[in-house]
């Protein structure tokens, strides 16, 4: 099986442009009519839906940002009444509240198609046994890929994340051929397998679909060697749909963006001007077909470049290079998105904790390790171990319940974290991503 939807995935660039233009006209008219936020935004920008004729007119439209989600929390950007929304997911917001996204029945179908395309890109077919080890829940990874497996007609094993020994047992007993998880989790599985004397390379594993966090070429090499598979880089974000936005194919020449649904642009993050092919900039997406939450020119903050040239696999969709960084300070720790501002938000709520902190991220073995050093107010700083331990536990608990990651909390004396005269250096990231 070469393509899931050959008509769409291999249509000529000219034909694709026409489809994109037609869909853009329709989506702009729809959000102008149905989403008060967009009516206001377009009016302010002096753009009317009738100004949009071809896909090139997209540059006339204003950008949408993550802050717009925060300002319209939870459902203010939805373009359909809640009676037509069949599911909501969420990802981290920049402060205490998550970014919420909604899907109609048609959106869920579209998402399943895109995740199934992703699976076919990496060689899976109806006979495949696909272990989904992304988290199931508000995170889009688990359910997104799960529906993709079912859409393809392969067999889904809905493992969710964690419980590595059990993952390995199921992998062997069920004859898993394809695995979906974060790249760091793939390496952890390899490590646990080695400890258990379990030869992963002797199983029938063929390929893995890895994404949700940045990974390096050395990680790719390690995964391919230790698991004996082909590693496929898959990219997506909740605001756009979840996984299924773009995927590497077996030619490994970048990630094909499913541009008949998600129109990509690369812009200069400072000027907002479009960048030509081959130049790095911020990736921006416009929904062409989504119903529940269509976004115009959504700024992902991810940095990459795009190539519209043909690919050996036959797909005509443009290819983005692997994400090489972000324009903001978002960190991804064990697959969970973390903004330093969220940590600050938590600390400000706790008496005795000062908003002076430093975040240290490192990689212990294959897993990310998060340490937060927090200054304690002089009145709270005490020799009494019990009191300090109580404060430490409270911070650890609140960080975990807000961010969904476990952090090691180290309490330090007031004024011991270096002050900066410019931008505070909040994050020390010791992980090697090259």
Strand order in the sheet with 408-412: 408-412, 367-376, 353-364, 427-429
- Residue 223 and residue 232 in contact, taking contact as beta carbons nearer than 8 Å: no
Q: Which of 52, 77, 219, 234 binds ligand DLL (CB under 6 A)?
A: 234
Q: Supply the minimum distance, in Å, between the C-beta of residue 263 and ligand DLL.
A: 17
Work out whether 323 is an interface residue with ligand DLL (CB under 6 A). yes
Work out whether 134 is an interface residue with ligand DLL (CB under 6 A). yes
Work out whether 368 is an interface residue with ligand DLL (CB under 6 A). no
Work out whether 94 is an interface residue with ligand DLL (CB under 6 A). no
Which segment (1-9, 158-166, 231-239, 413-421) binds ligand DLL by CB under 6 A?
231-239
Q: Which of 164, 337, 342, 404 binds ligand DLL (CB under 6 A)?
A: 337
Which segment (68-76, 230-238, 346-354, 412-420) binds ligand DLL by CB under 6 A?
230-238
Q: Which residues pair with 299 in a beta bridge?
A: 284
- Residue 264 and residue 323 in contact, taking contact as beta carbons nearer than 8 Å: no
Work out whether 404 is an interface residue with ligand DLL (CB under 6 A). no
> Strand ranges (DSSP E) for 270-378?
281-287, 298-304, 306-307, 319-320, 325-326, 331-333, 336-338, 353-364, 367-376
Q: Supply the minimum distance, in Å, between the C-beta of residue 101 and ligand DLL.
A: 9
Residues 235-294 that bind ligand DLL (CB under 6 A): 235-238, 242-243
d(CA 268, CA 287): 20
Q: Which of 9, 282, 302, 354 binds ligand DLL (CB under 6 A)?
A: 302
Tokens of 74: 């939870």
DSSP state of 50: G
Residue closest to 249 by CA, chosen among 302, 312, 323, 300: 312
Work out whether 417 is an interface residue with ligand DLL (CB under 6 A). no
Which segment (2-10, 80-88, 194-202, 234-242) binds ligand DLL by CB under 6 A?
234-242
Cis upstream peptide for 298 (omega within 30°): no
Q: Supply the minimum distance, in Å, between the C-beta of residue 191 and ligand DLL.
A: 21
Work out whether 214 is an interface residue with ligand DLL (CB under 6 A). yes
- Residue 171 and residue 107 in contact, taking contact as beta carbons nearer than 8 Å: no
In sign, the C-alpha dihedral spanning 28, 30, 33, 35 is negative
Q: Supply the minimum distance, in Å, between the C-beta of residue 306 and ligand DLL.
A: 15
Report the interface residues with ligand DLL, using CB under 6 A.
Answer: 91, 134, 140-141, 211-214, 233-238, 242-243, 300, 302, 323, 326, 332, 337
């Amino acid at each position: 099986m070469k393509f899931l939807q050959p008509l769409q995935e291999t249509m000529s660039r000219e034909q694709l442009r026409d489809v994109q233009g037609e869909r853009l006209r329709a989506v702009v008219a729809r959000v102008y009519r149905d989403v008060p936020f967009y009516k206001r935004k377009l009016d302010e920008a002096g753009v009317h839906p009738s100004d949009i004729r071809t896909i090139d007119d997209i540059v006339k439209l204003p950008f949408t940002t993550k802050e717009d989600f925060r300002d319209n929390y939870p459902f203010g950007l939805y373009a359909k009444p809640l009676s037509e929304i069949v599911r909501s997911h969420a990802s981290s917001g920049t402060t205490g509240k998550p970014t919420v996204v909604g899907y109609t029945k048609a959106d869920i179908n579209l998402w399943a198609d895109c995740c199934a395309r992703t699976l076919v890109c990496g060689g899976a077919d109806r006979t495949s046994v696909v272990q989904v080890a992304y988290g199931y829940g508000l995170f889009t990874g688990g359910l997104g890929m799960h529906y993709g497996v079912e859409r393809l007609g392969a067999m889904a094993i809905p493992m969710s994340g964690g419980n590595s020994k059990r993952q390995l047992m199921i992998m062997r007993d069920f004859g898993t051929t394809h695995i979906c998880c974060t790249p760091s989790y793939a390496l952890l599985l390899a490590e646990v397998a080695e400890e258990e004397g379990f030869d992963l390379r002797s199983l029938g594993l063929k390929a893995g679909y890895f994404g949700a966090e940045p990974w390096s070429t050395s990680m790719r090499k390690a995964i391919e060697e230790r698991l004996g598979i082909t590693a496929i880089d898959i990219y997506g974000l909740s605001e756009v749909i979840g996984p299924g936005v773009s995927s590497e194919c077996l030619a490994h020449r970048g990630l094909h963006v499913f541009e008949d649904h998600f129109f990509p642009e690369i812009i200069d993050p400072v000027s907002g001007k479009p960048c030509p092919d081959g130049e790095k900039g911020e990736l921006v997406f416009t929904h062409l077909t989504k119903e529940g939450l269509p976004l115009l020119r959504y700024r992902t903050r991810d940095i990459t470049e795009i190539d519209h040239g043909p690919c050996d696999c036959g797909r005509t969709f443009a290819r983005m290079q692997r994400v090489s960084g972000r324009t903001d300070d978002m960190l991804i720790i064990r697959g969970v998105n973390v903004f330093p501002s969220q940590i600050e938000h938590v600390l400000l709520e706790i008496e005795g904790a000062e908003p002076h902190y430093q975040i240290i991220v490192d990689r212990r073995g294959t897993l990310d390790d998060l340490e937060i050093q927090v200054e304690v107010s002089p009145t709270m700083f005490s020799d009494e171990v019990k009191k300090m331990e109580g404060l430490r536990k409270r911070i650890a608990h609140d960080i975990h319940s807000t961010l969904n990651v476990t952090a090691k909390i180290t309490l330090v004396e007031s004024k011991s974290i270096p002050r900066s005269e410019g931008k505070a250096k909040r994050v020390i990231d010791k992980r090697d991503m090259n």
